[in-house]
Amino acid sequence: MYGFTGNLLRVDLTSAKITREKIPEDYLRDFLGGSGLAARYLYNEIPVEEDVFSENNKLFFSAGPLNGRHFPTSGRCCVACRSPLTGIWLDSVWSGKFSYNLKRAGLDAIIIEGKSPQPVYLYINNDDIQLKDASKIWGKVVSETVLNIFDECGHTRGSCCAIGPAGEKLVKLANIMGDTTRAAGRGGAGALMGSKKLKAIFVYGDKEPAVSDEEKWKEVIKEITKKINEQPVTKSLKAYGTGVAMAAASQTGDAPTKNWKLGTWDGYSKISGITMAQTILRKHSSPCHACPIHCARYVEIDEGPYAMKGEGPEYEALGSFGSMCLNDNLESIAYANMLCNEYGLDSISTGAAIAFAMEAFEKGIITHKDTDGIQLTWGNTEAIVALVKKIAKQEGIGDLLGQGVRKAAEVLGRGSEEFAVHVKGLELPMHDPRAFFGYAPTYATSPRGACHLHGYVGGYDGRGVMPEAGLIEPQDAHALTGKGFLAKIVQDYDSVVQSSIVCYFMTYGVGPGDLAKALSVATGIHYDAQTVLKIGERIFNLQRAFNNRLGITRKDDTLPKRVLTSTEGGPNEGYVPNLEEQLKEYYQLRGWEEDGKPSKEKLRELGLDFVIGDLYV
Ligand code: SF4
């Protein structure tokens, strides 16, 4: 089958047995790769009744049909599992060269099961595939781990994803890091990898995967690259990175401030991508593979307490360690972000947990006795950096915060639940549903908890269109109707984006019809805008069914009270999303029952008949 290798590698860490399997063609045709293929496998293979750290929880690494052949922004790879943080579905897409090499090693996916008795890493050099001893690199930070593996294997090319000390210690905010600085975050996949004693996966491949038509493939790459380059947002991302959005925060009110309480702050411009470009930015770091956008940042801080060199913070980290904590010291944010990359921690959830702790400290729910003397006052840069280390090392209060704000509030009590800002256990990303109402139903229903990427509505709400899905005119960001519709179509499209796999930032200029054309040329299967949106809907509903089996119902589709309350001041003061109305519209369009399950009719329509017996007993 063109566009795919058709091969899956199954690695049983308990027995150290490695086998190669053929992937059924209908899985690839109907679910593509990445997140969709992961859902198709893991729905069947992860038992719902066991602990998340059971050896039967599995990690599924997968590329998609557009990876491996220099398609624009195709340096993306997906990892999926049942989340150690939330207990429900988790998939996470990261950038770099992993999927490029995976496809060229003749593989679409790797499934990791069981637990190794001692630390190992998986080595894939085309057909030479082995588990190697990782005891010498166990305990090392991510960059050292990757350097050691490249040295030991004698490779200069290839790609490596690895966990840091946080994953080894099973910190539930732990990431898997790709090529040292690209994060597969949100939900603790790194902790699951740590529980399996799998330190890293190295992959190198040099076999070019076939596409159905070489000439048309070159044309479609040219066409899509042109569309991406024509988008004004491409220029600003190239110049200022994703942090450019922080510069507009005073106008948009999108950046959560003081743990989602305030609507305005005088620090946004001090930590924006524009300020970064004028101060610590040195040159653009190597972008993700085949990316014409180049949003990545390389920063250097020569001296002082936050001296560092390396990948700079993107918008999410500027929000979580910056505006959320009222910290306008850009250097300290870059440093905290670097620590997250090295320890292998999710910078969104880590910063959000620190902001939560600062509010608990302000309210006297925790005191300096709980923090080993750290004065957790707003904007205290030393405290922020110290807490990142404590979370990574599970020291003192860091042990509790590393379990996420839901658990921390459960343990602390005394009203802290009121300001523990999460959905289904996942801390909200740095986009405010009071600024863009479309985020409200998106966060409430996303399969991994509050997520701006399973429905990147920020690219549409108030500004964009998707005519193929019926969004002809941009919606008003505060419109009281239509947001259920917006959430659904963007979630469906993004399910395809992360199954193809390409970067969300290309979707500003590339719609479902464009992606369908590329998928058709890659695979030789005819896809059009409607068929790809249907694939997205199928994937989204299968992930929903995965969660339904774990007990997720309509009552879990909600938002924390803090974001259903007006901000204090700012451009969105007085605006609160009408979530219940939005969800009514959303449920109706989704064809979901009142208890939150996809209806039998919807499941049949999507070819998900195999789910019906599990959900309707
Ligand atoms: S736009 Fe940024 S995150 Fe996306 S692929 Fe390009 S460099 Fe990577």
Q: Do 297 and 311 form a contact (C-beta atoms < 8 A)?
A: yes
**What average pLDDT does the segment 510-514 reach?**
96
Residue 534 CA, chain-centre distance (Å), reads 22
Are 309 and 348 contained in the same domain? yes
Q: Is the pLDDT of residue 95 over 90?
A: yes
Q: Which mutation among 294, 316, 507 tests ligand 1's pocket best, with the greatest number of atoms within 8 A of CB?
A: 294
* C-alpha of residue 501 to centroid of ligand 1, in Å: 12
Q: What is the pLDDT of residue 391?
A: 98
> Which two three-digit tokens encode residue 434?
């009071």
Q: Count Cβ atoms within 10 A of the Cβ of residue 335 and give its class: 0-12 exposed, 13-18 middle, 19 or more buried.
A: buried
Q: How confident is the model at residue 468 (pLDDT cuts 50, 70, 90)?
A: very high
CB atoms under 10 Å from CB of 584, counted, come to 13
Are 281 and 171 contained in the same domain? no
Q: Is the pLDDT of residue 283 over 80?
A: no
Own/partner long-range contacts of 24-27 (Cβ < 8 Å, ≥24 apart): 25/1
CA dist 123 and 149 (Å) reads 9
Q: Residue 235 contacts by C-beta under 8 Å, 6 or more apart in sequence?
A: none
From the CA of 506, give the closest atom in ligand 1.
Answer: 1
Give ligand 1 pocket residues (Cβ under 6 A): 73, 75, 95, 287-288, 291, 293-296, 503, 505
Range of the domain at 513: 439-558+578-615
> Which two three-digit tokens encode residue 243?
């942090």
Q: Which mutation among 293, 298, 494, 506 tests ligand 1's pocket best, with the greatest number of atoms within 8 A of CB?
A: 293
Residue with tokens 């569309």: 227
Ramachandran area for residue 95 (φ above 0: left; ψ -120 to 50: alpha; else beta): beta
CA dist 488 and 396 (Å) reads 42
* C-alpha of residue 599 to centroid of ligand 1, in Å: 37
Are 262 and 127 contained in the same domain? no
Q: Is the pLDDT of residue 288 over 90?
A: no
* C-alpha of residue 505 to centroid of ligand 1, in Å: 7
From the CA of 504, give the closest atom in ligand 1.
Answer: 4
* C-alpha of residue 63 to centroid of ligand 1, in Å: 16
From the CA of 502, give the closest atom in ligand 1.
Answer: 5
Q: Is the pLDDT of residue 533 over 90?
A: yes
Are 61 and 175 contained in the same domain? yes
For residue range 107-155, list pLDDT tens digits in order.
999 999 999 999 999 999 999 999 999 999 999 999 999 999 999 999 9
CA dist 74 and 502 (Å) reads 5
Q: What percent of the chain has pLDDT over 90?
A: 95
Are 417 and 450 contained in the same domain? no
Domain membership flag for residue 219: no
Are 333 and 291 contained in the same domain? yes
Domain membership flag for residue 273: yes
Are 506 and 457 contained in the same domain? yes
CATH of the domain at 593: 1.10.599.10
CATH of the domain at 412: 1.10.569.10
**What average pLDDT does the segment 330-344 reach?**
98
Q: What is the pLDDT of residue 525?
A: 97
Are 282 and 370 contained in the same domain? yes
Domain membership flag for residue 130: yes
Q: What is the pLDDT of residue 593?
A: 98
Are 64 and 139 contained in the same domain? yes
Domain membership flag for residue 211: no
- Angle at Cα 314 formed by Cα 308 and Cα 318, nearest 5°? 85
CA-closest residue to ligand 1 atom 2:
295
Name the residue among 92, 218, 226 with its Cα closest to residue 161.
92
CA dist 457 and 485 (Å) reads 11
In 144-280, the DSSP E strands lie at: 159-162, 176-178, 182-184, 198-204
